[in-house]
A and B are shown apart, each in its own frame.
Chain A
Amino acid sequence: MSYRIPMGPFHPGLEEPYKLEMICTGETVTDAKLHIGFNFRGIEHLAETRNYIQVIALMERVCGICSNIHTLTLCQAMERLTNLTPPPRAQYIRVIVAELERLHSHVLWAGIAAKLMGFKTMFMTCFEIREKVMDVLQAISGNRVNYAMNRIGGVNRDIEDPASILKMLEALEREMLRTIIPIFTTSTTARSRCAGVGVLTAAKAASVGVVGPMARASGLSQDLRRAAPYAAYEEMEFDVPVQTEGDVRARLLVRALEIMESCKILRQALGKLPPGEIFVPVEKYAFITGTATSRAEAPRGEVMYSVSWREGSRNPARVHVRTPTYANMPAVRWMVQGARLADTPLIQASIDPCYSCTDR
């Protein structure tokens, strides 16, 4: 006999409000339904009523975890519409903030995954290490969450003392190498809870169109930083970690390895930081009529912005956002089929969902 188990919208296992309805036979899940929309704030419509400065502050609040990547992508699209190219120093600073954001997002995810595995100590450790990343971000931008770093044609704040940031980074990397990486890659607790759970095969991953670490954990090597470099990624050297198993453990490994790659990119970017201006000084932004799209690799996968403008207008005509969780969410259905009920919170968390991005 099959029965339904509703979970949410306000549930201790969920960070954000959404509703998951599972259809089970005994302990085994046969199907799942997802209800979203609790975070729908109508941001895309609101963006049409805001001018080119306000819209940046608004889009930053699409998501508090990956706030920088939203403004970065939006600014890139607006730069295409105003024909501005940010100076090289700005491009480097953009890479640095984007990679720090990836670091804190992956460590945050590791903490939440550890909590769902029942590994509370690891959760606390991850958050303690995350605070160190936040310190670096605070030293650069002055804020802990919404950094307000990007503007049309550059960035708002300079990194005046890269050497001191580099020192903080080294301490951070040591900490990661000492605790998070070995525990997640070798500990038996993590392995027994994650290996073979929530498998998404490469064929299925390609057909549902997953992006980011989800795709890389299923053997699809795709990374916009490599495939379509933006900002200063062309000048960075890094690997794109790929795993082929497609289970939760593979996602864990991909993210753990990405943390190391991010540190590598950060070290290069801070070391090579070119001198010069940090933004293009402009009296008045002259937007042209048209639509510009821009893509970037957020911690969770590809983000795309499509911005339309009419010449002479202060407000955008349309801002369309496509977020990575929106692409990854349908995969949950195939991942939970046949899984045990107790594993479902971990499986759905393994896509690193962000519903405030998805609903907007």
Chain B
Amino acid sequence: MKLWKRLMCTCRRRSPWLFHMNSGSCNGCDIEFVAALTPRYDAEQLGVLLQGSPRHADILCVTGPVTRKAADAIKTVYAQAPGPKAVVAIGSCPATTNVFIESRTLEGPLGRHIPVDVFVPGCPPRPDAILQGVAKAAAILAERADHPPAAAPVIKPDAVEVQR
């Protein structure tokens, strides 16, 4: 049984499937995310595959400062992804709402809505940094597979509450 568990952990770590979600970003992070999947940076060397549905995904990659209209959709998509799952917040926007801070149409940062495991800072982060974030999330995912129900976030959402 133990061996089986170890095998599952390795499998999860070696082949995380991603779902990309844009919560109102400026597109900067999204094109860098796409660039990370293409030949120069080649995310597939990590076993990463981009999926079209959250129901097939292990890691959710979220960009953008979470607009009011996207906030509910994000929670729905998070609930749709099967456990164990991990969340990578790409860019400074989901971490702190970045330059859009104090906008009345934002409901960010992302930590208020779903637990985030890895933050990749930068505006936008370079594709290599995004890959590193995904690799980290894959390692977290592998550990989490051991205890599926208590999927505690590594960074607590209130830890990123922005000081206004």
A residues in contact (CB < 8 Å) with B: 9-12, 15-17, 37-43, 45-46, 49, 54, 57-58, 61-65, 67, 108, 123-124, 127-128, 130-131, 134, 144-146, 354, 356, 359
Contacts and interface: CB of A to CB of B under 8 A. Distances in A.
B26 A61 contact: yes
B76 to A, nearest CB: 9
A351 to B, nearest CB: 15
B22 A15 contact: yes
Contacts of A127: 34-35, 38-40
Contact of B103 (A12, A38, A41, A145): A41
Contacts of A144: 32, 124, 126
A12 B65 contact: no
B24 A17 contact: yes
Contacts of B105: 40-42
Given A64-B25, A65-B27, A65-B31, A124 B39 contact: yes
A63 B54 CA distance: 26
A359 to B, nearest CB: 8
A38 B26 contact: no
A60 B106 CA distance: 18
Contacts of B40: 127-128, 131
A17 B124 contact: no
B106 A41 contact: yes
Interface in B65-84: 65, 67-70, 73, 77
Contacts of A146: 28, 123-124
Interface residues of B, number: 40
A110 to B, nearest CB: 13
A10 B73 contact: yes
Contacts of B3: none
Given A10-B73, A38-B67, A127-B35, A49 B102 contact: yes
B27 A12 contact: no
A38 B106 CA distance: 11
Contacts of A15: 22, 27, 30, 34
B73 A61 contact: no
B98 interface: yes
From A131, A134, A145, name the one whose CB has the most chain B CB atoms within 10 angstroms.
A145
A145 B28 contact: yes
Given A10-B73, A42-B103, A354-B27, 19 more contacts: A9-B70, A12-B53, A38-B69, A40-B67, A40-B69, A41-B67, A42-B100, A49-B102, A61-B26, A62-B26, A127-B38, A128-B39, A128-B40, A131-B38, A144-B126, A145-B124, A146-B28, A146-B123, A356-B24
